[in-house]
Amino acid sequence: MIPKTFKEVIDLGGGRTISLETGKLAKQAHGSVELRMGNAVLLCTVVSSHTPTTMDFFPLTLDYREKFAAAGRYPGGFFKREARPSNEEILVMRLVDRVLRPLFPSDYRFETQVMIQLMSHDEEVMPDALAGLAASTAIQLSDIPFEAPISEVRVARINGEFVINPSRTQLEEADIDLMVGASEDSVSMVEGEMDECSEEEMAEAIKFAHEAIKEQCRAQVRLAEAVGKKPTREYETARTDESIQQKVHEAAYQKVYDVAKQALSKHERSEAFSEIKEEVKALFSEEEQEENGTLISKYFKEVHKTAIRDLTLKEGIRLDGRKTNEIRPIWCEVDYLPSTHGSAIFTRGETQALATVTLGTSREANQVDLPTFQGEETFYLHYNFPPFSTGEAYPIRGTSRREIGHGNLAQRALKGMVPDDSPYTIRVVSEVLESNGSSSMATVCAGTMALMDAGVQLTKPVSGIAMGLISQGDDFAVLSDILGDEDALGDMDFKVTGTADGITACQMDIKIKGLSYEILVKALKQAREGRLHILEKITETIAQPAPNVKPHAPKMEKIEIPGEFIGAVIGPGGKVIQEMQKETDTTIVIEEVEDMGVIEILGVNQDGIDEVKKRIKAITFKPEVGSVYEVKVVKVLDFGAVVEYTQAKGNEVLLHISELAWERTDNVTDIVNVGDVIDVKYFGIDPKTRKPKVSRKALLKKPEGYAPRPPRDKDRDGGRRDNNRGGNRDDRSRGNRDRGNREDRD
């Protein structure tokens, strides 16, 4: 018996709908929903333990996976089974997690797992824009405490019009591509890339997305009510004690305020705050500390946050003594590493990134093989954040989700400025060497300089800045170039990258409700001022891309040949191309594009590249009818000379003895010898011999009184065609029999 199901449909316009259905699948989960859009199907489940953990944070696991079977494909690799998540899946996990996590109660300490799976794929539907809606709906259908439904949508501007959740094909034409996460009341997350849009245009895109999100949040409420909204589960809340809270506040607030006002360095400040905390703890007996140690630490953290926020709002002073719109001191350097193809250091305050650039062929492109997308990236950026960058020591267990997310943001910031006709595959690697506030934006700046140092002809340089916001009632302060501590205690963390003409990428997390768009635009405009200041420091160090790649870096040239010659260039078993690579010390990559062969030639030595081009030109040489070419005699035969086109070494043709001169030629060597260089005229394919025909005599003046030899008389013995070449068929048969008889006699 099929169980009863409940369904809610969301209309996106243009005949597109999203359906949310529950009651049929995964019924033992605490909440489950099946989301459909077109042929795309997402299944989302949520389960939360009823037993609290001992962790001092909320143990939420957000998992998103795309099943290869969803697209009728097999996983790559030997085992043919989905394994670790791809970078793209991890990026979706981060997008959803950033919106969901803040809406669980701050004292909720129960292991919670949200799993989103793509079960069926539709080429016209991008599932990453649906994952947030599926996750929130599953939670709404459970009894897990959660503040309010949320959703996420993609908004793109295509031909001047905003579109919600466009297809991948539509997205290729967009100049704004934003993912926006929000509740019905407030926007909480924005991330995306733009083609140098203005701050006002970005705000308009966010507004448009929020309107669509509001309807999706209402649909979740309607579905939960139709099913029968479960009462929110009761759980043991964290213990509170007002007397301890008051005691900690009185003992610590002013001391923290005074230390914050001293503009100390990161480590000095941390030590000073630690000393204050120890002094506060000393006010309690050992028994009280043992019983209430967690509360004391919690209340001290609250006092620490409140004091620093008050200092900024009341006096406009920040932890390091800067004004709210002031940028930390910056120094830059390019060409720092002698053996890389490009390198740069960007240091801003206590944040430092060292970026390197490596140039390669299309063979080094980053291959993307997903159920939902297959392709390759010829520009990609990797971001590394080692423990020593923050003065810590902890185990390194592969690339973290944070590193993948920050690298993706920097990649999106820069990729639009790499020219479409750049012949290289480009890999940028950012090594974060120090971190105290926005190493991802330092990566953008270091990456820009490293690319220009490498000779990549960026359209425009790009800079990035991290901004913060502190607000209380009607008072607020927008902070430029935030520190790590300001990120933790602020109400908004947004990173903005762009050129002098507009925004190229952003990542924004908003921690307060009801942020006005006026404050958002003001913050974005202040970010622009800071971004331009940083850009000025960058261009003081390197004003424009180097005109050429470095002497030790590979040069790249692309040529195209007719598709019919691809096999000849490769040679049997790859012999020709392998010999060329070995003898010229180059790397040659051939790709068939439509009816043409696109050849990439990569080499440090320009002479080697030129030699490859010369050889390929020889292989693909096709003389034109009526044209004159210089040739060299390479072999003499009784009936002519084999000549080689001097502009196409190895490309040979027969110069028949009758085409050497107007006069009768008995011996070829009377006219030419091996090694002679002469001119010939090309006549195309001879219809009689079906071979190329060239002539030397056609370029010579015809002798006076010259008369061509008369054609053979068909009636003479020489005209064998009418004589059946020596007799009729019966005669030939008889002759054959006679020969056979003679053989028998022998």
Cα–Cα distance list, 237 to 107, 108, 234, 241, 445 (Å) = 6, 7, 9, 13, 45
Predicted confidence (pLDDT) per residue in 598-619, tens digit: 999 999 999 999 999 988 988 8
Do 154 and 126 contact (CB within 8 A), yes or no?
yes
User: For the whole prediction, is pTM greater than 0.75?
Assistant: yes
Is the pLDDT at 391 greater than 90, yes or no? no
pLDDT band at 730 (very low <50, low <70, confident <90, very high): very low
Q: What percent of the chain has pLDDT over 90?
A: 63
According to DSSP, the residues that pair with 192 across neighbouring strands are 178, 506
Confidence category of residue 712, pLDDT binned at 50, 70, 90: low
Q: Which residues pair with 343 in a beta bridge?
A: 356
pLDDT digits (tens, 9 = 90+) for 27-55: 999 999 999 999 999 999 999 999 988 88
Whole-number average pLDDT of the chain: 89
| pLDDT band at residue 367 under the 50/70/90 scheme | confident
Q: Over 60: is that where the pLDDT of 379 sits?
A: yes
- Give residues with Cβ within 8 angstroms of 126, minimum separation 6: 154, 165, 166, 167, 168, 171, 372
pLDDT at 732 > cutoff 80? no
pLDDT(166) > 90: yes
Confidence grade of residue 724 (pLDDT, cut at 50, 70, 90): very low
Q: What is the mean pLDDT of the segment spanning 155-176?
A: 94
With a cut of 50, say whether residue 729 has pLDDT above it: no
Rounded to 5 degrees, what angle do the CA atoms 150, 56, 187 make?
20
Residue 722 has pLDDT above 50, yes or no: no
pLDDT score for 713: 55
> What is the H or E stretch that residue 251 is in?
helix 242-260
Q: How many Cα atoms occupy the beta-carbon half-sphere of 500 within 13 Å? A: 9
Residue 160 scores a pLDDT above 90 = yes
Three-state DSSP at 266 gives helix
- Over residues 694-711, the mean pLDDT reads 80
Residue 425 clears pLDDT 50, i.e. is over it: yes
Rounded to an integer, what distance in angstroms lies between the CA atom of residue 41 and that of residue 35?
Answer: 6
pLDDT at res. 689:
84
20 to 125, 126, 138, 155, 481: CA distances (angstroms): 16, 17, 10, 21, 42
Rounded CA-CA distance 421/298 in Å is: 56
pLDDT in tens, 70-80: 999 988 877 88
Cβ 71 vs Cβ 371: under 8 Å:
yes
Whether residue 153 has pLDDT greater than 90:
yes
Q: What is the secondary structure of 135-197 as a DSSP string?
A: HHHHHHTSSS--SS-EEEEEEEEETTEEEES--HHHHTTEEEEEEEEEESS-EEEEEEEEEEE
pLDDT in the model for residue 744 = 41
Residues 498/533, Cβ–Cβ less than 8 Å: no
Q: What is the mean pLDDT of residues 592-603?
A: 90
Helix/strand/coil for 95: helix
pLDDT for 432 beyond 90: yes
Q: For residues 409 and 488, which has the higher predicted lDDT (pLDDT)?
A: 409
E strand segments, 53-149? 60-66, 110-120
Band of residue 726 on the pLDDT scale cut at 50, 70, 90: very low
User: Rounded mean pLDDT of 116-143?
Assistant: 96
> Model confidence over 552-574: pLDDT tens digits?
999 888 899 998 889 989 988 99
Q: Count CB neighbours of 343 within 10 A.
A: 23
| 204: pLDDT strictly greater than 90 | yes
Over its C-alpha atoms, the chain yields an Rg (Å, rounded) of: 38
Q: What confidence score (pLDDT) does residue 719 get?
A: 45
Q: How long a stretch of residues is the chain?
A: 746
pLDDT of the residue at 709: 67
Among the ranges 157-161, 699-703, 716-720, which has the highest mean pLDDT value? Answer: 157-161
Tens-digit pLDDT profile for residues 650-677: 788 999 998 899 888 889 998 999 999 9
